[in-house]
Structures are given as C-alpha cells and as structure tokens.
Structure 1
C-alpha cells in the first residue's frame, strides 16, 4: 500500500494466492476492514497485516475508513459495509458502547466480527479481540518518563483522547498507577477530543497553573503535537519532558528533532495479521482465540536505527 491508497477511500484488494491445500481451495472470503480513522499510518500498518493474512489464505479485503475518530463518522460506514454482506468485519470501534448495537446487527446477519486495536464494553459478540496490552504499555510510558526525569519530582499531566476509547483509557490507567508509584505529583488527565488545538490549550493552561510541571504524557498523536506546540511557545522545551504514543512519521520526526523524548511504539502490523487470521479461522469453523495481546517497545532518538524498533514504525507501505 502506498500513500495514494489512503485509508479514507474504499480499496478492494483481490488476492488470489493459492493455499496449496485442496480442502480450502474453494474459500474466497470477503473481509471488510473499518479502522478508527483514515489517513493514520498506525491503521495503515494494521491494514497491511490484515492483507498479509488474507493473501496467505485466498481472501479479499475491502477497507473504508471514517474521516474522524468518532462513532458519528464510523457508524454510517459500518452500516454501508453490513449492507454489502461481507463474510467478516474487522473493526477498531471508536466508542466502547455506541458501536455495540450496529455490530450486533452484523452478527445477527451471520457476519463474523473481529475487534482490532480498540474493543467494546461488551465484546461478547466478537469472535476475537486483538490489541496491544494498553495498561501495560501505559506503565511502560510511566517508567520511561520517570527514568528520563530522574531525581526531578515535579508534576506530571496526561493529555488523553476522549472518554470511552478503550485503548487510550487503558493507557492512562496504566500510566497513572506507574507514575504515582514513581513518586510524582500526578495532575490527572484532560481530554483533547483528538484536537491539536485543544491539546495545545490544555498544556498551555497546565504550564501556567503548575510552575513545577516536569512531564507530559500524551496518549495519541494529535495530543502530542498540541503538547509540543504549547511547550515550545512557553519556552519550556528544555525542562518539560514529553513521552508520547506515536510511531507515525510525524512522531518519529518529533524524536529526531528532540521535541519528544520517547514514543511508546505498538505493533499494529502484528495486530492486523492476527485479526485477519482470527477472522478466517472463524469463517472456516475453526477454533479462535478470544483475546490476543501484542506487545510494545519504546523509541528514542538514540535507538531509531535498531531493527527491533525500526520494524515497528507505522507506515502506509506494506513490507
């Protein structure tokens, strides 16, 4: 996949790779993928993983993404996909409650559902949930920030996405526990609603209200961009440390420029690949794994060339 094939358009990808196993030669499953938002290289890597699983198993993938990360944008796309009657839907729900009812419609029509990246408050309708362990990854972020701050015991703030997004809620939960245990004054979280401008305003206000603000944890890409802008505008880039959750190309540039000290890097390609395999297994009547967790690593300016880090940088280009 290249940058001209953006996630916000429908891309029907016919895969005709033979399995070499006569028993499955008749399989030609149609899988629909609905990411959380279009134009995000994280979901580009998820899609690459799904396409790899499909290519290995004679399936086709059709992808359509919402223009914004919210249920109002995602649900109409889901309803359109359901009307096309795919065999399975792989989706990153943008709200843990609002997506349940429309996905239940899909399941009632015999469509298999796999949740990837994010999940539902009641995931029982899905054959599998595949995501990172975001609580554990949040704790990794806390440990990383604590190590970077060393003996400085100032205040720390989290800029989160929006309430009800399971992945980022879990990241904050893991971070909150870890940073408190490390002895820092945790100011809690504020929500940007995925807005760079609002994240900028949140961090600007925190800098004014807390002269000892030492660290900012950002749970998502746009939050980090806003946080960096606020800190630079306040002339505090040298003493406020930012740890983000973004291995998209802009996030990697932030590391190279020294604007962000570390980025927690998830493994979206692995998540997409496992989600694709689970969808195909369910369609063949094979046993599926209810919950699959993929790991995380930490990228810094100093380790970007390490293959164990660079291989997980998010990209629209499939390996």
Structure 2
C-alpha cells in the first residue's frame, strides 16, 4: 500500500522527494490559520470508492491535519458529472474557504465550478480538470501524455514490434484519459509493423470492457496488445481475454496500480502498469489551498505534473509503496 508521502514542490519540480510516513504527517506543529480562524477546505473526488481516490484522501487528510485546517471530503460512489455536481454545489453553499475538485467531465463540470468562483472561493483541480483553466488557481495531475507514450513503448516491445493493438477507455470527456490516449497514439504510430485499430469505450463498466476485449479478439485475429487507460478497462480486458483463451498471449499495459491490477501483474494477465501518485496529488492540493488562503499565493504553481512509475513483475517487490490503498 502507499504508505509514503513526499516532500513538496521543490522536490516535485526536481522529480525527486524525501519519503515521509503518512502516519507521521500530522505529528508536527499545526500552522495557525490566518486571523486564528479555522479554514475549511472542501474536496470532491471523482468517486469515493476507488482506491486511487482513497489514496488521494489519505494524502489530503494527512496534510490537512498537519496544517490545522478542516477538510470536508465528500463525493459520489460513481464516476459521473450528474452525481458529482450536487456535492460541489453543497460545499459552495456551505461557504468553504477553498475547493478542490477532481472533475468527472471537462465540460459538464464547468458550471458548478464557476458557481464556486463567483463568490471568490479559490478552486484547484486534481487528477482531471476542466476546459476553462481561467477559473482555476492550480491544476495538479500526472504526466498523462508521457504515461501514454510509456505505455506504447512498453507494449510495442512486449509484442515484438509487430501486430495489432487497441485501446480500452471509460468514456470521452475525461481529460486524463484523453491525454493518455494522445500520448499512446502518437508513440505507437512510430512503429511501422504495428497496426493501431482505435478506441473502444466501456463506460466504466467491467463487464462491458470484458465483452469489448472478446470482440477485439474476434474481429482482429492478429491482436497482440491492449492499452487500458484505467483500472476498470484493465480488469475487464483481463477477464475478457481469459474467456477468449488469450490471457497472457495478448498483452495488456494498463494505467494505475489498483490492488486488482497489481494482482493481474503478479499472475501475468497484465504485463505492465503505469502507476500514478494520488496521495501526493491530494497532499499538494491541500497545501496549495492553504497557501492561497494564507497570503502565499506566489508559492502556488498554476500547473503541476507528477511523473509516473512503471511497474512490472521484475520491479514490483521494490515498488510496493505505489500500490493504491483501500482504506485512507
């Protein structure tokens, strides 16, 4: 599990960090909020039940405790703008000091976020974002384009630079997945003997992803690899390939390091994982919100892009800290 946070922006910019135990993150002196007033930071994840966001919650809560601010972590159990919007609206109505959101749609979440900006609540997006960057004080995410490029290079090598490949992804409109696809497609097209046949969307449904993987095997006899842009696509693809008798034969390179994906890496149904650092994203978002509220806005970078960690069976034992958590 991801038991470690990393020291912040100087180390992030340099691409290195000193590890701190999450359990120790709140043991230092809490910084006093401006004017002695307790600051309240609202945090709306993409969904509350996913290990990626549970890991993010762990980082956010540790930083909030350390800084002496109140954190309201509230969100839906499903990844959907229609379900996410009421939580954003509620936190705005309650007058939070700052708002952090992992938007579930780049366009649909603009109006609710604008409702926060109008009464001068500073807004930070984390993981995903919205198309109107002018509404935001900062955007914190992973290097998704670079992660897509890494996935393509790894998959190409694993299939011997020959064969047919496809992408499974949840849905259009998610900025992180779109960037991963962009990076993957640009890189995979550099290999003349690899045929890329496009994207299939599984609507964040494991069973649909499984069916789509079976359909890809049926319609593309030379299918050699699948890039899954999130954990649902990855687990579904692995299940579908098992049913089709192609587990391990058709390679899967996937995003994230959910426990089920790590298990797939261990049993060979998934070939490699592009792991993110959600706890650090949550920690940094709370730190930036605090800086904005305490006169240190110059310390807040408008865009932060964390580097990924590539996991495979050979290096997994040495990188267990990047596996996502199931409890905060």
The TM-score with structure 1 as length reference comes to 0.90
Instruction: Determine the structure 1 residue equivalent to 2:164.
Output: 155
Q: Does 1:298 align with 2:306?
A: no
Distance change (3 Å), C-alpha of 1:23 and 1:58:
closer
Larger deviation: 65-74 or 213-222? 65-74
How far residue 17 of structure 1 moved from its aligned partner, in angstroms, is 6.2
Instruction: Determine the structure 1 residue equivalent to 2:224.
Output: 214
Distance 1:139 1:27 in 2: 46
Instruction: Determine the structure 1 residue equivalent to 2:270.
Output: 260
Q: Does 1:185 align with 2:168?
A: no
Q: Which one of the candidate residues 9, 23, 30 is aligned to 1:19?
A: 30
Runs of 4+ in 1 over 2 A off after TM superposition: 15-20, 22-25
Instruction: Determine the structure 1 residue equivalent to 2:179.
Output: 170
Distance 1:180 1:43 in 2: 32
SS in 2 for 1:181: coil
Distance 2:124 2:33 in 1: 24
How far residue 285 of structure 1 moved from its aligned partner, in angstroms, is 2.5
SS in 2 for 1:305: helix
Distance 1:198 1:259 in 2: 18
SS in 2 for 1:37: coil
Deviations 1:50-76 (A, max 9, x none): 122212211111111212111011011
Distance 2:88 2:144 in 1: 25
How far residue 271 of structure 1 moved from its aligned partner, in angstroms, is 1.1
Show structure 2 runs of 5+ residues with no match.
Answer: 2-25
Distance 1:26 1:302 in 2: 51
Show structure 1 runs of 5+ residues with no match.
Answer: 2-14
Query: Following superposition of structure 1 onto structure 2, how do residues 223-242 of structure 1 map, counting pairs within 5 Å?
Result: 223-242=233-252
Instruction: Determine the structure 1 residue equivalent to 2:15.
Output: none
SS in 1 for 2:280: helix
Instruction: Determine the structure 1 residue equivalent to 2:205.
Output: 195
